[in-house]
Amino acid sequence: MKKIPTVFVRDFDGRPAIVTRAVTPGCEWVLAGEGVATRKYDGVCVMLDAAGEWWARREVKPGKMPPPNYRVVSTDGETGRTVGWEPIGQSSFAKFHAEALVNCGGVEGAGTFELLGPKINRDPDDYRCHILMPHGWSQLSVREDFATAPRDYDGLREWLQARPYEGVVWHHPDGRMAKLKVKDFPHRDAA
């Protein structure tokens, strides 16, 4: 799990940091119409590795100690935050993850998932129980809606602000990904 770049360059001078109109180097393919747009869910990223072990994504702020058995993936040069994995059993989300496994009837095959449910990030989608959503999957109506997502700054801002989604993640056929969240944009009245 490498940190997914944001399509547009962030302005870290403001609080909160918002995106500018400049395209993040390496994300030009999104504006060129390449890749598939998928829904970004507001949950906790978890991973089932090839050995059958579960991990929870964890960010560690600069100057803070990582948890035991933490596996570093990368450090953001702009914010200094380190992104990595911690064993799910020591994560604060362990109980909800266990419930999600029961509710989903288990999971087969390595991959990454979004842990969603009533005790996760204020549950913006109002789930009745904890579940695991495979990354890149959505119901047909949502996939059809994301197929209409524009590929320019103004269009994306308007499109995202008119919907209840946290954001969008584009998946390129070669494995690259890029993201954009509705909260990345300045408020409508501020622009």
Query: Could you tell me if 179 and 6 are in contact, meaning their C-beta atoms sit under 8 angstroms apart?
Result: yes
Domain ranges in the chain are: 8-190
The b-or-e profile of 16-53 (16+ CB within 10 A means b, else e) is eebbeeebbeebebbbeebbebbbbbbbbbbbbeeeee
pLDDT of residue 136: 80
Query: Could you tell me if 149 and 157 are in contact, meaning their C-beta atoms sit under 8 angstroms apart?
Result: no
pLDDT of residue 191: 47
The b-or-e profile of 91-127 (16+ CB within 10 A means b, else e) is bebeebbebbbeeeeebeeeebbbbbbeebeeeeeeb
Task: Please report where in the chains the tokens 């990368």 appear, as a residue.
Answer: 74
pTM: 0.81
Q: Percentage of the chain with pLDDT > 70?
A: 95
Give CA–CA dist 1/111, Å, rounded: 10
Task: Pick the closest to residue 58 from 47, 132, 17 (CA basis).
Answer: 47
Residue 57 or residue 2, greater confidence: 57
How many residues does this entry show for the chain? 191
pLDDT of residue 103: 94
List strands edge to edge, sheet with 54-60: 71-75, 82-87, 54-60, 44-48, 111-116, 131-134
Read off the pLDDT of each residue in 158-182 and give the average, rounded to a whole number. Answer: 94
Tens-digit pLDDT profile for residues 27-71: 999 999 999 999 998 899 999 999 999 999 999 999 999 999 999
Give CA–CA dist 95/101, Å, rounded: 10
Residue 173 CB burial class (10 angstroms; 0-12, 13-18, ≥19): exposed
Tens-digit pLDDT profile for residues 107-136: 888 999 999 999 998 888 889 999 999 988
Residue 17 or residue 46, greater confidence: 46
Tens-digit pLDDT profile for residues 84-102: 999 999 999 999 999 999 9
Give CA–CA dist 129/97, Å, rounded: 11
pLDDT at 138 over 90: no
